[in-house]
Amino acid sequence: MTIFPSALTLKDLQESDSADPLATVRDRFVLPEAGVYFCGNSLGPLPRATKGRVHEVLRQQWGQDLIRSWTRHDWIDMPLRMGDKIGRIIGALPGEVAVADSTSINLFKLLAAALRLRPGRNVLLAEEGTFPTDLYMMQGLVDLLGGSYEIRIVAREALLSGQAFDPDVALACLSHVQFRDGALHDVEAMTALARDAGALVLWDLAHSAGAMPLHLHRWKVDLAVGCGYKYLNGGPGAPAFLYVAKHLQQSLEQPLWGWLGHAEPFALEEAYRPADGIRRTLCGTPPILSLAALEAGCDLFLEVDLEQVGKKGRRLGHLFLQLVDETLEGLGIEVACPRETSLERQLRGSQVCLRHPDAFPIVQALIERGIAGDFRAPDVLRFGLSPLILRYADLWQAVASLREVLETRAWDQPHFHCRGAVT
């Protein structure tokens, strides 16, 4: 895939910025004055609208209207109203998405529900390199169920060839975009392959929702979860979302029987009866302030063309890799993410991943220079490409800084080797 056939110049990138239909969206965010932020896939930046939105909820709704806000401001339905907004971003039908809890908790709910939808099958598939929380939630569930289930961690090839899907497989829990190397699944094809084998796929959309157009309904996806604080820019610890296709909702039995998933929460009955539809996936009281912040993040997506968002993310990735190839040769860097050779087949999420044995101190030296990427153990430098905030010219600054850090070995200072609790 060639965008600029000769060596890239800063001018090429600046021209790409001038022609970028999303260029002005960046002004809708509060961003550090200097440097480049490549962690929008970890914690999205603060939309300018968020402060006013949250302040209004504080001032009027909580401050004045207090408990009446549950009805006056429809707090009670906010998880579903927000679900419908996110549904528009991920290509779901109204009533197929709820916003609640964390991604991990939603994984637990839907993993357990999926097993009940496939009685007689006792295998849960995961892919090598899956994000740990997906594995841990599977392990915790299997442990709770008393050991009659088995988790199989398989290579991508075994999934793609269909070999992994034997008649014992109840479900596969897969990341649309792999967090460490950015490899992207063809959701529609993989869901169909699993379906033909009688299994369900629970998709983790943490690294794709808000970064590219998704078409869950059209792709016939059954179950999915995703994060609110990454590309959706909902703020630290923003509530997560879950998706259940309409055709599964009435038979879906999730195990966390909280009162707000009850058919009539205020009937205060002793026995649990699940609500109809997606509401049965709810559990406890929704975090209204966090939902208000998430709403401001999601509203921005309803104003932009997600096709353009996806295209820009791919183009940023492609040009980043071109700069790496052209300027970092011989400096010990390897490309750790898939390369795309055509526009037809997307193989990589909105991120670039590089490998170096000293990735950790290199990332710290970059952060000190204002280039905020992240380190993923054991040896990956990860650069999230948020199409709403990044400029093409930012890539120049990032790769030039990386070159300087590598050439001068600036990373090899003791303080860059100290690891904190969060990397």
| Residue positions annotated with a catalytic role | 131, 204, 229-230, 382
**Shortest Cβ distance from residue 106 to ligand PLP (Å)?**
8
By CB under 6 A, which span of 96-104, 185-193, 337-345, 379-387 interacts with ligand PLP?
96-104
What residues contact residue 68 under an 8 Å CB cut-off, 6+ apart? none
Residue 90 sits at the vertex; the CA angle it makes with 84 and 91, to the nearest 5 degrees, is 80
- Residues between 300 and 359 with contacts to ligand PLP, criterion CB under 6 A: none
**Shortest Cβ distance from residue 77 to ligand PLP (Å)?**
22
Rounded CA-CA distance 362/402 in Å is: 8
Rounded CA-CA distance 28/51 in Å is: 12
Q: In terms of CB distance, is 230 or 369 closer to ligand PLP?
A: 230
Q: In terms of CB distance, is 240 or 242 closer to ligand PLP?
A: 240
- Residues between 201 and 220 with contacts to ligand PLP, criterion CB under 6 A: 204, 206-207
**Shortest Cβ distance from residue 179 to ligand PLP (Å)?**
4
Q: In terms of CB distance, is 39 or 170 closer to ligand PLP?
A: 39
Greatest Cα pair distance in the chain = 71
Q: In terms of CB distance, is 8 or 205 closer to ligand PLP?
A: 205
**Shortest Cβ distance from residue 227 to ligand PLP (Å)?**
5
Q: In terms of CB distance, is 110 or 319 closer to ligand PLP?
A: 110
Amino acid identity at 380: V
Residue from 16, 50, 69, 175 touching ligand PLP (CB under 6 A): that is 175
Residue 240 sits in the site that holds ligand PLP (CB under 6 A): yes
Residue from 165, 179, 375, 383 touching ligand PLP (CB under 6 A): that is 179
Q: Which two tokens stand for residue 307?
A: 């096709």
C-alpha distances in Å from residue 255, one per residue of 115, 251, 282, 393: 11, 13, 11, 49
Residue 103 sits in the site that holds ligand PLP (CB under 6 A): yes
Q: Which helix (H) or strand (E) holds 383?
A: strand 380-384
Secondary structure E strands in 52-168:
97-99, 123-127, 150-154
Q: In terms of CB distance, is 131 or 165 closer to ligand PLP?
A: 131
Residue from 102, 122, 308, 327 touching ligand PLP (CB under 6 A): that is 102
**Shortest Cβ distance from residue 115 to ligand PLP (Å)?**
19
Report long-range pairs for 203-206 (Cβ below 8 Å, ≥24 apart). 203/174, 203/175, 203/176, 204/103, 204/107, 204/130, 204/131, 204/134, 204/173, 204/174, 204/175, 204/176, 205/90, 205/176, 206/103, 206/131, 206/175, 206/177, 206/179, 206/230
Q: In terms of CB distance, is 108 or 416 closer to ligand PLP?
A: 108
Rounded CA-CA distance 6/258 in Å is: 60
Residue from 131, 165, 203, 243 touching ligand PLP (CB under 6 A): that is 131
Instruction: Indicate the DSSP class of residue 60.
Output: I
- Residues between 12 and 51 with contacts to ligand PLP, criterion CB under 6 A: none
Residue 133 sits in the site that holds ligand PLP (CB under 6 A): yes
By CB under 6 A, which span of 43-51, 102-110, 139-147, 271-279 interacts with ligand PLP?
102-110
The alpha carbon torsion through 22, 24, 27, 31 (nearest 10 deg) reads: 50
- Residue linked to tokens 């999926």: 114
**Shortest Cβ distance from residue 103 to ligand PLP (Å)?**
3
By CB under 6 A, which span of 45-53, 129-137, 145-153, 361-369 interacts with ligand PLP?
129-137
Amino acid identity at 20: D
Rounded CA-CA distance 320/396 in Å is: 8
**Shortest Cβ distance from residue 70 to ligand PLP (Å)?**
25
Residues binding ligand PLP: what is the number (CB under 6 A)? 13
Q: In terms of CB distance, is 239 or 274 closer to ligand PLP?
A: 239
Q: Which two tokens stand for residue 44?
A: 């999205």
Rounded CA-CA distance 359/352 in Å is: 14
**Shortest Cβ distance from residue 24 to ligand PLP (Å)?**
29
Residue from 193, 227, 389, 398 touching ligand PLP (CB under 6 A): that is 227
Cβ atoms of residues 1 and 318 within 8 Å: yes
Binding site for ligand PLP (CB under 6 A): 102-104, 131, 133-134, 175, 179, 204, 206-207, 227, 240
